[in-house]
Amino acid sequence: MVPGSGLSSDRRIGLPSKPRIIPPGTLYRGHEGMWSWVAHRITGVGIFFFLLVHVLDTALVRVSPEAYNEVIGTYKNPVVGLMEVGLVGAILFHAFNGIRLILVDFWAKGPRHQRKLMIGVGIIWVVLFVPFVIRHLSHVFGG
């Protein structure tokens, strides 16, 4: 980092140094690595809380099948249908970004291709997510 200039150098192995403008008052550079890190953590926490609720409501069937049926019945509404869309989007992103992270960590050329890998994650996510959204929302709102 060049003090007072808002510029930093990219000193990755094998890459030439190029100046970057860092927004004032932040430690983050805002590139694909940082945003994928943030999104990976957010989707991971969201998936964790879904799994927690899923285990708890499924365990309810052992306590009272009637209570279980009542809880499952409350899930059959458009709000939960939209939440399911978010869940599937989070799972898809988390899975493919995890594969990208494995490639960056264990493939010697991974760090050099981080931006291309992130674009690939985005393309695969859209290709799989958009058809799901169309089909799922047709069931949620169409009957």
Taking only the tens place, the pLDDT of each residue in 100-120 is 999 988 989 888 888 899 999
Q: Is pLDDT of 133 > 90?
A: yes
According to DSSP, residue 22 is labeled: P
Q: Count the neighbouring beta carbons within 10 Å of the beta carbon of residue 7.
A: 13
The three-class DSSP label of residue 101 is helix
Query: What distance in Å separates the CA atoms of residue 125 and residue 121, rounded to the nearest whole number?
Result: 6
Burial 113-135 (b: 16+ CB within 10 A, else e): ebeebbeebeebbeeebeeeeee
Q: Give residue 112's pLDDT.
A: 87
Average pLDDT, the chain: 85
For the chain, domain boundaries: 32-142
Amino acid at site 140: V
pLDDT in tens, 5-14: 444 444 555 5
Q: Is pLDDT of 98 > 50?
A: yes
**If pLDDT is split at 50, 70 and 90, which confidence band does 70 have?**
very high
Sequence-distant (≥ 6) Cβ neighbours of residue 121 within 8 angstroms:
36, 93, 96, 97, 99, 100
The domain over range 32-142 is classified in CATH as 1.20.1300.10: yes
140 closest CA partner among 72, 79, 57: 79
Number of H helices, E strands in the chain: 4, 2
